[in-house]
Structure 1
Amino acid sequence: MVRIRPYTLTGGRTRSRFPLFVHSLISLSDPEAAPPSGLAPEAGRILVLCRRVKSVAEISADLRLPLGVVQVLVGDLLDRGVVRVHPTITGRRPTDRELLQRLLVGLEQLSS
């Protein structure tokens, strides 16, 4: 298997235009729509993963790509309108403790 440097996957970009966090939840905008043409293989794999709601951290782990690379690729998919970001906590700003608790529960689910 040929290894590609992460910065080549993003065209040298290191940041997404969108505020994507580790716990941001991503899914397909329209699960019935055909994927756009000209997608990089990694972007196509993200679309396959996002048939079910996934966090940016889960996508990163599943693809074995650095978090920053996944944030840029997901941002590109957001630009194209093929994925959407779900609100993670609605109605109020989470406290640090609440956020850490949610992350802990998510990590425990990944390991089981």
Structure 2
Amino acid sequence: MSQAPEEETRTVRPYAVTGGRVKSASSNLPLEALVEVVPNAGDINRLPPEKRAIMQHASRSYVSVIELSALLHLPIGVVRIIVADLADQNFVRVHSTTAVGARTGQAPTLSLSVLESVLNGISAL
């Protein structure tokens, strides 16, 4: 039994969009990471359709990686790779709630005194 043409397109398309990559150096972005367009990012008309769509959505306001996945109807892994590529090309800036050190396996950069201050502030509420 063969697949319907739409199903084949959905199966092949993400592979084609990422050039066959399943990971990039910085593609392990958190789902809630916010994406914004860098001012004067350059000519987006030369970008592939998926990258242009991300640029258009992120130019209106901050948009999360998971929202982009839903808006573009693409798997989250594909969107992470595309957003990482756009960030590497200085088209977008990614704001993450996760400390960079926590993602790379290094010790977090926050000191104990900063954490204690935050805890005291929350307790005071």
TM-score (norm 1): 0.70
Which structure has greater helix proportion? 2
**Alpha-carbon distance in structure 1 between the residues aligned to 2:98 and 2:23:** 23
**Aligned residue number for residue 13 of structure 1:** 21
Between structure 1 and structure 2, the one with the greater Rg is 2
Identity %: 38
- RMSD of the TM alignment (CA)? 2.4
**Aligned residue number for residue 82 of structure 2:** 73
**Alpha-carbon distance in structure 2 between the residues aligned to 1:29 and 1:65:** 23
Q: Which has the higher contact order (CA 8 A, sep 6+)?
A: 1
Runs of 4+ in 1 over 4 A off after TM superposition: 89-92
| Other structure's SS at 2:31 match | coil
Superposed, 1:1-112 pairs within 5 Å as 3=9, 5=12, 6-18=14-26, 19-30=28-39, 32-36=40-44, 38-51=46-59, 52-88=61-97
What is the CA distance between 1:38 and its match in structure 2?
Answer: 3.0
TM-score (norm 2): 0.63
- The number of equivalent residue pairs is 91
Letter in 1 for 2:30: F
Structure 2: runs of 5 or more not aligned: 1-5, 100-108, 111-125
Structure 1: runs of 5 or more not aligned: 93-112
